[in-house]
Structure 1
Amino acid sequence: MQPCKRKPIINVLLTTLLVAFFTLSSCFPGSQTIRAENQVGGTGPTLVVEGTGTVSETPDQAKAALAIVNHDKSLSVAQEQNSAGTNQVIQALIAAGIPSENIETTSFTVWPQYSYPDTKNDNQPPTIIGYKVRNELTIINKIPDLGTALDTALKAGANEVINIQYLKSDTTEATNLALTRACQNAITKSQAIAKALGMQLGEIVTVSEGTISTTPPRTMMLKEAAIGGADSIPIQPGQLEVQSTVTVTFKLK
């Protein structure tokens, strides 16, 4: 009579863990990683959970993109006018208190402007009738002073304010707090899963830091400087979000 073969207890336990995991995963819609695993070598099952932490911060700086645009029949004239206008805007911003290192030329483009033949003469190629020159500047300034700086640039010759982005000069404290919250979130979820399985959390096996992302407030979009007339452009930044993730592996017992 041959001895009866038993399935290893650990395989039964792992199967139970996996079934329970798929049932529980719907309870944690924000989780990107919740896994029940059986380590090789008989060390027992483990639980891998990802935690997320978010912190809201008030931005203290703003980055604004503006442009000086000129049109002329002559390319050289358009370029000269644009160069003079750009220098005038830069000097006005420096005089308003913006450090020169916070003013940067980020784009310079030239487009020919065409006249197209009417449909009766559509075999004729288009002819160049002039040129458009565009010089884009980016400025960084403290938020309370940005409205005045933009107004200064517009009065000095800038004719486009393209967008405004809000920044935080130092996100170290917010990042550390977000990481702390991510760890707490991972522990809370792990405890809930272990309790539902009738088990307890054991020691931590591994911890790894995941992504750290900063989400700025919604970008403010402005075009063609139809903003004139106000003494200072009103600026309202909103909140900036810092998000961190951690992945923690626990032993289960």
Structure 2
Amino acid sequence: MMKNLIRITALLLILAVAAVGSVSAESDSSVNDKVIHSSGTGNVIGTPDRAQVTFSVQTENTDVKKAQAENSAKMNTVIEALIAAGIPRDALKTTGYNIYPVYEESTGLMMPKVKTYRVTNTLTVTLHDVSKTGEVIDIAVANGINQADSIRFMLSDQQQKVLRTEALKKAVEQARSDADTVAGAMGTAITGVKNADITGGYYPVLFENYQYQYAGAADMKMASTTPVQPGDITVSASVTITYTIR
């Protein structure tokens, strides 16, 4: 009766641990090892220290060459304004360029005629100072940008490495704690680590097709910098560890 009670208690402990992680015990017949498989996940919240702002100049004209020329002039003005504001030239990158015809509405079986040509030039600005995001948007719009595409907040490689290391430590601690609990309930103890698998990462904070209301340069002088809040980023790491037991 007492042996059955101990077995039931051990089983309940294993099920309870499975609610927060994943633990299983078995005998590895290939090397005669008794093992416990345990998994854990660690999450660490960090603040983005990189930003990418993507926007476009869009022009339209019945003459494709004029549409191109107007677009080029506006984008050059935007680029020079950003550089004058202290943004390094190598932080600016053209990430899209399209020319396509805009057709008149089709009537009957007649082929629609080309009404105008639309040129879109897309620029991505990478910022090492996230606090300048709103200022960059304001400067770009004041100098010719007329299409907002996306704002992406990210972690630098160094920041990502620091947070991932912390998340991995938490994941390993959880896996080991769960394994110790199960081993103790089974009347045994962990003797070593046989192998470990690691996964995880993070997703940037992304705002796509953000709305920007702009009435003109005069209003821009009176307005404060566009407020942009990057929010937080969660870095996750997961481990699955195989422990040997007595």
TM > 0.5 fold call: yes
Matches of 1:115 and 1:24, distance apart in 2: 69
TM-score after normalising by structure 1: 0.82
Deviates more, 1:233-242 or 1:192-201: 192-201
Unaligned runs of 5+ in 2: 1-6
Measured in 2, the distance between the counterparts of 1:248 and 1:72 equals: 63
User: CA separation of 1:83/1:48 partners in 2, compared to 1, >3 Å: closer, same or farther?
Assistant: same
User: Hey, what does 1:151 align to over in structure 2?
Assistant: 138
Deviates more, 1:109-118 or 1:80-89: 109-118
Partner of 1:86: 75
Q: Residue 235 of structure 1 aligns with which residue?
A: 228
- 1:166-205 equivalences in 2 (<5 Å): 166-169=153-156, 170=158, 171-205=160-194
- 1:223 and 1:128 map into 2 onto residues whose CA distance is 30
Structure 1 unaligned runs (5+)? 1-15
Is contact 2:17–2:178 with CA below 8 Å preserved after alignment? no
Secondary structure of the residue aligned to 1:98 is: coil
Question: In the alignment, is residue 134 of structure 1 matched against residue 120 of structure 2?
Answer: yes
- Is 1:244 paired with 2:217? no
Q: Distance in 1 between matches of 2:30 and 2:110?
A: 80
2:56 maps to 1:70: no
Write the distance in 1 (CA, Å) between the matches of 2:39 and 2:175: 6
Rate the CA distance shift 1:131–1:39 in 2: closer, same or farther, 3 A: same
What do the CA deviations read for 1:2-36 (whole angstroms, capped 9, x no partner)? Answer: xxxxxxxxxxxxxx8xx949x835643454x5332
Question: Which whole-Å CA distance do the structure 2 matches of 1:42 and 1:183 have between them?
Answer: 25
Distance 1:26 1:220, change over 3 A: same
Contact preservation (8 Å) 2:57, 2:147: yes
How many equivalent residue pairs?
230
CA distance in 2, matches of 1:134, 1:26: 57
The correspondence for 1:212, drawn from 200, 207, 210, is 200
Does structure 2 conserve the Cα–Cα contact (< 8 Å) formed by 1:216 and 1:239?
no
Quote how far apart the aligned CAs of 1:199 are.
2.9
Q: Which has the larger radius of gyration?
A: 1
Root-mean-square deviation over aligned CA pairs: 2.3
Q: Could you give the per-residue CA deviations for residues 198-235 of structure 1, whole angstroms, max 9, x where no partner exists?
A: 33222222233x22312223x23444632454331101
Which deviates more from structure 2 when the two are superposed, residues 178-187 or residues 38-47? 38-47
Question: Could you tell me whether the CA contact under 8 Å between 2:50 and 2:153 is conserved in 1?
Answer: yes
Identity %: 27
